[in-house]
Structure 1
């Protein structure tokens, strides 16, 4: 009988795992979104409307033998996935790839393509009308968003506020943060570290309306548009009791070196959902999807399992279409020109190929 594999979540790791097993198993990919959303480029799509349609890629070409079900998991136990629609999917192997969640700019809202594109257009219009923007959180998302805003609306005041004493939590060499600070200053972005605002603005995030806040250091910031660039969560309330036992305090699932959920031989977790000790990036999720597909193939055929090796700290962070900073131990520091060239297309055609879609 054909081995049944259910992959829950169609993000970066889920699509790789599903496609890697399509020729050897009966694969069902469960995903509530109408299309794959290329999250890596969604901040560029807010700033540049030309990207608003490009980041939504159909799932139609992903699997040749398996199927993609537009639904969400209501409960997952080893061997069984129950969907919100009421459908029940039996599974010899389960791959959990449900990622992370949060308000924009962490993620786009909704599951439909049209609704997502409309949100991008509305945010672009709001940014165009705003006289000054406040971003709370200077992590990778806040930094990229600040760079996009400052690059596409030159002269518009953008302020970043973060309680951390240094950029990117000190994970990277000083030359990286120095280059990042230099480019942000060149874009006119004001960065306030080691402090926080006394309270959030009264107006809703993403809504244009004047406000003023004060930081713990006494800086007064007047703006009329703000966003919280932190606070992403890892939803896992669909887990049955046995799987929920592997949930760690931060919400992620403990996995072994083969990316199996702790205590379970046939349930795997990839991407933001698991607790591998590394930055949660698309590159890591992609590699984890490959390892999980290979390990399930090995379990089906009786071969040895592959251990996953977490990536050392690395990033390629864009600051608008002509700037950015990149770093990884294998290639060192990437400056504005090299970073901008690498992220000029956000590897769009690469991901369209993974999904079996035509080149953009």
Structure 2
């Protein structure tokens, strides 16, 4: 792969939150190729809302062919990447001047979708919505941010349904969060009527497939038997890095995350950068992915234009917003003393699901 107009070539693998920001930011100074297996970017942050209210589906899928003005989008998938040599599923090979790994993580549907085309993905969402409508008792396995948000969405839109959340830890939201955040989320969940079963994992997953109606029975390690008509898996994040080979594979930790240096370059590999959820630089999250994308884009722009110096990445303060339906939720935000309550989270995310800023990247009018 070589430039036809003396501009350096940049390949971005992955069309998630960090990948699209980098590709867009470098479109004017490099020959950018964005590679992703799907035909559209999925705004995963609004996936739970699309499950309970399918009208959102037309807002959360944004076609990649509207992203770049000078660069190109290649609908394909990396099967082997060794250094800057990229082999795609089609057999095509790319060897850019700069390579960015931005393939992110996988997560159970419907928080993330694996279907490679928009029509199929939307159909799966609509099928899952119909299955939810026919279920009276809902079981959510996982009491982290995703599980709590899902439970809140279902109870907010369908208050007559019984919703139970099971978590292995003694409290909700395990991780580096203030206890006040956990307390406020539990208070609001209780007000919504969500039942929490904490401190005991299930012995095994249900035999019925997730998101489909069926006879659901689980037993916790404490011996409690729980039954439901449908269940959802709200755990199981996995870095998408199996395609790495050679020195890149050597930079892959046993848990799948990629080691990077302070500038987010892959350790020991020249010309390769990694951003977003697949790196070991910071915690997973859309805000983190965006910050890393901006830093790598600025560093590459400085290298390409010959102006400026490389900037090191430093994790920012904790930032999380957990909506519980359009009008509820709580968060922990920089610059806010204490916990952000329902009104602030509803205005920030709960009512808009942050669609607008991402739609703007794609020049997609009417989607905000």
| Structures share fold, TM-score greater than 0.5 | yes
1:83 to 69, 84, 88: 88
SS in structure 2 opposite 1:309? coil
TM-score (norm 2): 0.94
Match of residue 146 from structure 1: 151
1:295 equivalenced with 2:299 (yes/no): yes
Contact 1:353 1:359 in 2 (8 A): no
1:213 CA displacement: 2.3
| 2:100 matches 1:104 | no
Q: Residue deviations 1:175-213, cap 9 Å, x none?
A: 211110011001111111110122222211122112332
Q: Distance in 2 between matches of 1:349 and 1:102?
A: 24
Aligned partner of 2:137 in structure 1 is 132
1:12 aligns with: 17
Task: Give yes or no for the alignment of 1:356 onto 2:363.
Answer: yes
Give the alignment partner of residue 289 of structure 2, picking from 256, 278, 285.
285
* 1:39 match: 44
Could you list the runs of 4 or more consecutive aligned residues of structure 1 that deviate by over 4 angstroms after TM superposition? none
Could you tell me which residue of structure 2 aligns to residue 165 of structure 1? 170
Matches within 5 A, 1:26-65: 26-65=31-70
Deviations 1:300-345 (A, max 9, x none): 2333101112122220111111111111242131111111111111
Alpha-carbon RMSD: 1.3
Query: Following the alignment from structure 1 to structure 2, what is the Cα–Cα distance between the partners of residues 24 and 77?
Result: 25
Q: Give 1:22 shift.
A: 0.8
- Larger deviation, residues 75-84 vs 134-143: 75-84
Task: List runs of 5+ in structure 2 lacking aligned partners.
Answer: 1-5
Normalised by the length of structure 1, the TM-score is: 0.96
The answer on whether the counterparts of 1:106 and 1:230 sit within 8 Å (CA) in structure 2 is no
Equivalent of 2:128 in 100, 123, 129: 123
What pairs up with 1:238-249 in 2 under 5 angstroms? 238-249=243-254
CA distance in 1, matches of 2:141, 2:237: 13
Q: Return the alpha-carbon distance in structure 1 between the equivalents of residues 15 and 190 of structure 2.
A: 38
Q: Deviations over 1:71-93 (max 9, x none)?
A: 11111122321111111112000
Q: Which runs of 5+ in 1 are unaligned?
A: none
Does the aligned pair in 2 maintain the 1:155–1:188 contact within 8 Å? no
Separation in 1, partners of 2:211, 2:66: 35
Query: Residue 81 of structure 2 contacts residue 244 of structure 2 at CA under 8 Å; is this kept in 1?
Result: yes
The answer on whether the counterparts of 1:261 and 1:267 sit within 8 Å (CA) in structure 2 is yes
- Mapped contact 1:135–1:142 kept (Cα < 8 A): yes
Number of aligned positions between the proteins: 359
Give the CA deviation at 1:170: 4.7
Partner residue in 1 for 2:353: 346
Instruction: Report which stretch shifted further, 165-174 or 30-39.
Output: 165-174
Give the match for residue 316 of structure 1: 321
1:115-148 CA-to-partner distances (Å, cap 9, x unmatched) read 1111111111111101201111111111111111
Taking the aligned partners of 1:298 and 1:134, their CA distance within structure 2 comes to 50
Indicate which of 22, 27, 34 corresponds to 2:27: 22
Q: Does structure 1 retain, via aligned residues, the 8 Å contact 2:34–2:73? A: yes
Q: Take 2:326 and 2:170, find their aligned partners in 1: how far apart are those partners?
A: 28
Aligned counterparts of 1:214 and 1:6: Cα–Cα separation in 2 = 48
Partner residue of 2:343?
Answer: 337
**More off after superposition, 350-359 vs 252-261:** 350-359
Counterpart CA distance in 1 for 2:356 and 2:107 is 27
